[in-house]
Structure 1
Amino acid sequence: MWKKFLLVGFSLIPMAAFTGQAAGAGAGTMVSADAMQWQEIEPGSPMKITILWGDRNKGEYAMLLKMPAGFVAPIHAHTGDYHGTNLIGTWRHSFEGGEERTLPPGSYVFQPGMEMHGDACAGPEDCILFVHQHVKGDVIPKR
Protein backbone atom coordinates (compact mmCIF):
# COMPACT_ATOMS: atom_id res chain seq x y z
CA MET A 1 0.00 0.00 0.00
CA TRP A 2 2.79 2.43 0.94
CA LYS A 3 4.60 1.67 -2.31
CA LYS A 4 1.50 2.62 -4.35
CA PHE A 5 1.04 5.80 -2.30
CA LEU A 6 4.67 6.84 -2.77
CA LEU A 7 4.65 5.95 -6.48
CA VAL A 8 1.51 8.03 -7.12
CA GLY A 9 2.78 10.89 -4.95
CA PHE A 10 6.17 11.07 -6.64
CA SER A 11 4.61 10.83 -10.10
CA LEU A 12 2.53 13.96 -9.36
CA ILE A 13 5.56 16.11 -8.47
CA PRO A 14 6.62 16.81 -12.09
CA MET A 15 3.00 17.55 -13.03
CA ALA A 16 2.64 20.00 -10.15
CA ALA A 17 5.89 21.71 -11.11
CA PHE A 18 4.83 22.02 -14.76
CA THR A 19 1.37 23.31 -13.84
CA GLY A 20 2.87 25.93 -11.55
CA GLN A 21 5.18 27.17 -14.28
CA ALA A 22 2.37 27.31 -16.81
CA ALA A 23 0.30 29.39 -14.41
CA GLY A 24 3.13 31.90 -13.98
CA ALA A 25 4.35 30.57 -10.67
CA GLY A 26 7.30 32.18 -9.04
CA ALA A 27 7.37 34.62 -6.21
CA GLY A 28 3.95 34.80 -4.57
CA THR A 29 1.98 38.02 -4.35
CA MET A 30 -0.07 39.34 -1.45
CA VAL A 31 -1.72 42.76 -1.36
CA SER A 32 -3.82 43.88 1.59
CA ALA A 33 -7.12 45.63 0.85
CA ASP A 34 -5.82 48.97 2.12
CA ALA A 35 -2.85 48.80 -0.28
CA MET A 36 -4.95 48.26 -3.43
CA GLN A 37 -4.36 50.98 -6.00
CA TRP A 38 -7.76 52.11 -7.31
CA GLN A 39 -8.13 54.14 -10.50
CA GLU A 40 -11.10 55.44 -12.49
CA ILE A 41 -12.29 52.90 -15.04
CA GLU A 42 -12.36 55.83 -17.47
CA PRO A 43 -11.78 59.55 -16.89
CA GLY A 44 -14.60 61.13 -14.89
CA SER A 45 -16.28 57.82 -14.04
CA PRO A 46 -17.42 57.23 -10.45
CA MET A 47 -16.49 53.54 -10.89
CA LYS A 48 -12.99 52.52 -9.88
CA ILE A 49 -10.94 49.41 -10.64
CA THR A 50 -7.84 47.67 -9.42
CA ILE A 51 -6.29 45.08 -11.72
CA LEU A 52 -5.43 41.80 -9.99
CA TRP A 53 -3.70 40.10 -12.93
CA GLY A 54 -3.37 40.45 -16.67
CA ASP A 55 -3.83 43.54 -18.80
CA ARG A 56 -7.39 44.82 -19.35
CA ASN A 57 -6.26 46.64 -22.51
CA LYS A 58 -4.71 43.57 -24.15
CA GLY A 59 -6.36 40.34 -23.08
CA GLU A 60 -7.23 38.08 -20.21
CA TYR A 61 -7.41 39.84 -16.86
CA ALA A 62 -9.19 39.98 -13.52
CA MET A 63 -10.08 43.07 -11.54
CA LEU A 64 -12.00 44.39 -8.61
CA LEU A 65 -14.67 46.88 -9.67
CA LYS A 66 -15.95 49.41 -7.14
CA MET A 67 -19.33 51.08 -7.69
CA PRO A 68 -20.47 53.78 -5.28
CA ALA A 69 -23.69 53.23 -3.33
CA GLY A 70 -26.71 54.27 -5.40
CA PHE A 71 -24.80 54.21 -8.71
CA VAL A 72 -26.71 53.01 -11.78
CA ALA A 73 -24.66 52.20 -14.89
CA PRO A 74 -26.24 52.93 -18.27
CA ILE A 75 -27.30 49.87 -20.30
CA HIS A 76 -24.19 48.53 -22.05
CA ALA A 77 -22.41 45.43 -23.38
CA HIS A 78 -18.87 44.07 -23.59
CA THR A 79 -17.27 42.35 -26.55
CA GLY A 80 -16.42 39.23 -24.54
CA ASP A 81 -18.14 37.19 -21.85
CA TYR A 82 -17.44 38.02 -18.23
CA HIS A 83 -17.74 36.26 -14.91
CA GLY A 84 -18.61 38.41 -11.91
CA THR A 85 -18.92 37.75 -8.21
CA ASN A 86 -20.25 40.24 -5.69
CA LEU A 87 -17.89 40.66 -2.75
CA ILE A 88 -19.36 43.66 -0.90
CA GLY A 89 -22.65 45.55 -1.12
CA THR A 90 -25.89 44.85 -2.95
CA TRP A 91 -25.37 44.44 -6.69
CA ARG A 92 -28.34 44.65 -9.04
CA HIS A 93 -27.78 43.05 -12.45
CA SER A 94 -30.24 42.85 -15.32
CA PHE A 95 -30.27 41.20 -18.72
CA GLU A 96 -31.79 43.41 -21.41
CA GLY A 97 -35.44 42.56 -21.89
CA GLY A 98 -35.24 39.89 -19.24
CA GLU A 99 -34.46 38.98 -15.71
CA GLU A 100 -33.25 41.45 -13.08
CA ARG A 101 -31.97 40.40 -9.68
CA THR A 102 -30.67 42.02 -6.54
CA LEU A 103 -27.58 40.03 -5.60
CA PRO A 104 -26.07 39.93 -2.08
CA PRO A 105 -22.37 39.23 -1.44
CA GLY A 106 -21.30 35.82 -2.73
CA SER A 107 -23.63 35.97 -5.76
CA TYR A 108 -22.34 35.10 -9.23
CA VAL A 109 -23.22 36.35 -12.73
CA PHE A 110 -22.15 35.04 -16.13
CA GLN A 111 -22.72 37.81 -18.67
CA PRO A 112 -22.44 36.72 -22.33
CA GLY A 113 -20.49 39.04 -24.59
CA MET A 114 -22.35 41.43 -26.91
CA GLU A 115 -25.53 41.22 -24.80
CA MET A 116 -26.85 44.45 -23.34
CA HIS A 117 -27.25 44.53 -19.57
CA GLY A 118 -27.49 46.87 -16.62
CA ASP A 119 -25.67 47.12 -13.31
CA ALA A 120 -26.31 49.11 -10.16
CA CYS A 121 -25.16 49.28 -6.57
CA ALA A 122 -28.53 49.14 -4.84
CA GLY A 123 -27.67 49.30 -1.15
CA PRO A 124 -26.41 51.93 1.26
CA GLU A 125 -22.78 50.80 0.94
CA ASP A 126 -20.39 50.76 -2.01
CA CYS A 127 -20.26 47.55 -4.06
CA ILE A 128 -17.06 45.69 -4.90
CA LEU A 129 -17.24 43.03 -7.60
CA PHE A 130 -14.64 40.52 -8.75
CA VAL A 131 -14.68 40.45 -12.58
CA HIS A 132 -12.78 38.06 -14.86
CA GLN A 133 -12.64 38.14 -18.67
CA HIS A 134 -10.69 35.95 -21.07
CA VAL A 135 -10.51 38.88 -23.53
CA LYS A 136 -9.64 42.55 -23.24
CA GLY A 137 -12.08 44.73 -21.38
CA ASP A 138 -14.31 47.25 -23.10
CA VAL A 139 -17.68 48.94 -22.77
CA ILE A 140 -20.15 49.21 -25.64
CA PRO A 141 -22.90 51.76 -24.87
CA LYS A 142 -26.49 51.10 -25.94
CA ARG A 143 -27.41 53.07 -29.05
Structure 2
Amino acid sequence: MSTMKPTGHTRQARVLFLLLLFAMPLAAETGVPEQALARTFSDADLQWGPCPSFIPAGCEIAVLHGDPAKQNADIFFKVPGGGFLVPHHRHTSAERMVLVSGQLQVQYEGQETVSLKPGTYAYGPAERTHTAVCESPEACVLFIAFEGPVDAYAIEVK
Protein backbone atom coordinates (compact mmCIF):
# COMPACT_ATOMS: atom_id res chain seq x y z
CA MET A 1 0.00 0.00 0.00
CA SER A 2 1.47 3.35 -0.95
CA THR A 3 1.55 6.30 1.41
CA MET A 4 0.36 9.52 -0.18
CA LYS A 5 0.76 13.01 1.16
CA PRO A 6 -0.22 16.34 -0.39
CA THR A 7 2.63 18.62 -1.47
CA GLY A 8 2.55 22.40 -1.88
CA HIS A 9 -1.27 22.75 -1.72
CA THR A 10 -1.51 26.45 -1.08
CA ARG A 11 1.16 27.54 -3.57
CA GLN A 12 -0.08 25.31 -6.39
CA ALA A 13 -3.71 26.26 -5.84
CA ARG A 14 -2.78 29.95 -6.04
CA VAL A 15 -0.63 29.41 -9.14
CA LEU A 16 -3.40 27.50 -10.93
CA PHE A 17 -5.98 30.10 -9.93
CA LEU A 18 -3.84 32.98 -11.25
CA LEU A 19 -2.98 31.15 -14.48
CA LEU A 20 -6.61 30.41 -15.19
CA LEU A 21 -7.69 33.96 -14.43
CA PHE A 22 -5.18 35.30 -16.95
CA ALA A 23 -5.95 32.56 -19.48
CA MET A 24 -9.49 33.83 -19.98
CA PRO A 25 -10.68 37.41 -19.58
CA LEU A 26 -13.56 37.65 -17.17
CA ALA A 27 -16.86 38.60 -18.77
CA ALA A 28 -17.94 42.16 -18.13
CA GLU A 29 -21.32 42.83 -16.60
CA THR A 30 -23.18 44.27 -19.59
CA GLY A 31 -26.81 43.50 -18.85
CA VAL A 32 -26.93 41.46 -22.08
CA PRO A 33 -28.40 37.95 -21.62
CA GLU A 34 -25.86 35.13 -21.54
CA GLN A 35 -25.15 33.75 -25.00
CA ALA A 36 -25.09 30.09 -26.06
CA LEU A 37 -21.66 28.69 -26.83
CA ALA A 38 -20.12 25.93 -28.98
CA ARG A 39 -16.36 25.29 -29.09
CA THR A 40 -13.89 22.75 -30.46
CA PHE A 41 -10.38 22.17 -29.12
CA SER A 42 -8.95 23.40 -32.44
CA ASP A 43 -10.67 26.81 -32.41
CA ALA A 44 -8.00 29.38 -33.25
CA ASP A 45 -9.30 31.89 -30.70
CA LEU A 46 -9.07 29.59 -27.68
CA GLN A 47 -6.72 31.03 -25.07
CA TRP A 48 -4.49 28.18 -23.91
CA GLY A 49 -2.51 28.65 -20.73
CA PRO A 50 -0.03 26.52 -18.79
CA CYS A 51 -0.98 23.79 -16.34
CA PRO A 52 0.13 23.72 -12.69
CA SER A 53 3.90 23.53 -12.30
CA PHE A 54 3.93 19.91 -11.11
CA ILE A 55 2.73 18.78 -14.56
CA PRO A 56 5.55 18.66 -17.16
CA ALA A 57 5.84 21.29 -19.89
CA GLY A 58 3.52 20.71 -22.84
CA CYS A 59 0.34 20.53 -20.78
CA GLU A 60 -2.19 23.29 -21.51
CA ILE A 61 -5.60 24.41 -20.22
CA ALA A 62 -8.25 26.53 -21.96
CA VAL A 63 -11.21 27.85 -19.98
CA LEU A 64 -14.38 27.36 -22.00
CA HIS A 65 -17.07 28.69 -19.70
CA GLY A 66 -17.41 30.05 -16.21
CA ASP A 67 -15.03 31.47 -13.67
CA PRO A 68 -12.42 28.89 -12.57
CA ALA A 69 -12.45 30.37 -9.06
CA LYS A 70 -16.17 29.57 -8.69
CA GLN A 71 -18.41 26.54 -9.09
CA ASN A 72 -19.22 24.96 -12.47
CA ALA A 73 -16.33 25.99 -14.72
CA ASP A 74 -15.61 24.03 -17.92
CA ILE A 75 -12.14 23.55 -19.41
CA PHE A 76 -10.21 21.74 -22.10
CA PHE A 77 -7.13 19.95 -20.68
CA LYS A 78 -4.54 19.10 -23.35
CA VAL A 79 -1.34 17.04 -23.10
CA PRO A 80 1.07 15.85 -25.79
CA GLY A 81 0.82 12.30 -27.12
CA GLY A 82 3.49 9.65 -27.12
CA GLY A 83 3.31 8.55 -23.48
CA PHE A 84 3.02 11.94 -21.74
CA LEU A 85 2.53 11.30 -18.00
CA VAL A 86 0.24 13.41 -15.84
CA PRO A 87 1.65 12.91 -12.30
CA HIS A 88 -0.45 11.76 -9.36
CA HIS A 89 -2.75 14.52 -8.22
CA ARG A 90 -6.19 15.25 -6.85
CA HIS A 91 -8.87 17.96 -7.04
CA THR A 92 -11.11 19.30 -4.27
CA SER A 93 -13.98 19.15 -6.77
CA ALA A 94 -15.53 16.19 -8.52
CA GLU A 95 -14.93 16.30 -12.27
CA ARG A 96 -17.03 15.14 -15.21
CA MET A 97 -14.99 14.42 -18.32
CA VAL A 98 -15.30 13.46 -21.98
CA LEU A 99 -12.21 12.59 -24.01
CA VAL A 100 -12.25 14.68 -27.19
CA SER A 101 -9.09 13.41 -28.90
CA GLY A 102 -6.31 10.88 -28.40
CA GLN A 103 -6.32 7.83 -26.14
CA LEU A 104 -5.83 8.38 -22.42
CA GLN A 105 -5.18 5.82 -19.71
CA VAL A 106 -6.53 6.98 -16.35
CA GLN A 107 -5.97 5.28 -13.00
CA TYR A 108 -7.73 6.32 -9.79
CA GLU A 109 -6.35 5.17 -6.45
CA GLY A 110 -7.70 1.72 -5.60
CA GLN A 111 -9.21 1.13 -9.05
CA GLU A 112 -8.15 -0.54 -12.29
CA THR A 113 -6.66 1.56 -15.09
CA VAL A 114 -9.24 2.60 -17.69
CA SER A 115 -8.39 3.45 -21.31
CA LEU A 116 -10.47 6.37 -22.58
CA LYS A 117 -11.10 6.78 -26.30
CA PRO A 118 -12.73 9.80 -28.01
CA GLY A 119 -16.32 10.13 -26.85
CA THR A 120 -15.74 8.27 -23.57
CA TYR A 121 -17.35 9.80 -20.48
CA ALA A 122 -15.57 9.52 -17.13
CA TYR A 123 -16.36 10.72 -13.63
CA GLY A 124 -13.69 11.52 -11.06
CA PRO A 125 -14.72 11.83 -7.41
CA ALA A 126 -13.50 14.78 -5.37
CA GLU A 127 -10.28 14.23 -3.40
CA ARG A 128 -9.47 10.93 -5.21
CA THR A 129 -5.82 10.63 -6.24
CA HIS A 130 -5.30 9.77 -9.90
CA THR A 131 -2.79 9.78 -12.73
CA ALA A 132 -3.01 9.61 -16.52
CA VAL A 133 -0.92 8.74 -19.58
CA CYS A 134 -1.64 9.94 -23.12
CA GLU A 135 -0.85 6.74 -24.98
CA SER A 136 -1.78 7.89 -28.50
CA PRO A 137 0.72 9.51 -30.88
CA GLU A 138 -1.53 12.60 -31.12
CA ALA A 139 -2.38 14.93 -28.24
CA CYS A 140 -5.02 13.97 -25.70
CA VAL A 141 -7.69 16.61 -25.16
CA LEU A 142 -10.09 16.14 -22.29
CA PHE A 143 -13.20 18.23 -21.66
CA ILE A 144 -13.62 18.64 -17.89
CA ALA A 145 -16.61 20.13 -16.06
CA PHE A 146 -15.68 20.92 -12.47
CA GLU A 147 -18.43 21.09 -9.83
CA GLY A 148 -16.37 23.35 -7.55
CA PRO A 149 -13.52 25.77 -8.21
CA VAL A 150 -10.80 24.47 -10.55
CA ASP A 151 -7.70 23.28 -8.71
CA ALA A 152 -5.10 20.50 -8.79
CA TYR A 153 -2.72 19.33 -6.07
CA ALA A 154 0.34 17.18 -6.63
CA ILE A 155 0.42 14.00 -4.55
CA GLU A 156 3.69 12.35 -3.64
CA VAL A 157 3.40 8.57 -3.95
CA LYS A 158 5.81 6.47 -1.90
Place the TM-score, normalised by the shorter chain, in its bin.
Answer: 0.7 to 0.9
Gaps in structure 1 of 5+ consecutive residues: 1-23
In the other structure, the counterpart of 2:139 is 126
Secondary structure of residue in 1 paired with 2:136: coil
Instruction: Describe the SS at the equivalent of 1:51.
Output: strand
Residue 61 of structure 2: SS of its match in structure 1?
strand
- Which residue type is aligned with residue 125 of structure 2? P
Of 40, 59, 63, the residue aligned with 2:50 is: 40
Deviation at 1:50, TM superposition (A): 0.8
Which whole-Å CA distance do the structure 1 matches of 2:114 and 2:144 have between them? 18
Note the residue ranges of structure 2 that are not aligned, 5 or more in a row: 1-31
Q: Deviations over 1:7-37 (max 9, x none)?
A: xxxxxxxxxxxxxxxxx94444455612211
**Which moved further from structure 2: 82-91 or 29-38?**
29-38
Structure with the largest fraction of helix: 1
Give the number of the structure with larger relative contact order, counting CA–CA contacts within 8 Å between residues 6 or more apart. Answer: 2
- Deviating above 6 A after TM superposition, structure 1's stretches of 4 or more consecutive aligned residues are none
Q: Which amino acid aligns with 1:122?
A: E
What CA distance in whole angstroms lies between the structure 2 residues aligned with 1:86 and 1:118? 15
Specify the alignment match of 1:102 in structure 2.
115
Q: CA deviation at 1:99?
A: 1.0
Bigger drift between 50-59 and 64-73 goes to: 50-59
**Equivalent residues of 2:52, 2:152 under 8 A apart:** no
Distance 1:65 1:114 in 2: 18
Q: CA deviation at 1:142?
A: 1.5
Tell me, in whole angstroms, the C-alpha distance in 1 between the residues paired with 2:154 and 2:39. Answer: 33
Identity of aligned residues (%): 27
Instruction: Say if 2:63 is the partner of 1:51.
Output: yes
Counterpart for residue 63 of structure 1: 75
Partner amino acid, structure 1, of 2:79: M
Instruction: Report the aligned-residue RMSD.
Output: 2.0
Distance in 2 of aligned mates of 1:102 and 1:28: 32
What's the CA shift for 1:98?
Answer: 1.8
Is residue 105–residue 115 contact of structure 2 (8 Å, CA) maintained in 1? Answer: yes
Give the 3-state SS of the residue equivalent to 1:119 in structure 2: strand
Paired amino acid for 2:135: A
Structure 2 counterpart of 1:58, one-letter code: K
Cα distance in 1 for residues equivalent to 2:68 and 2:59 = 15
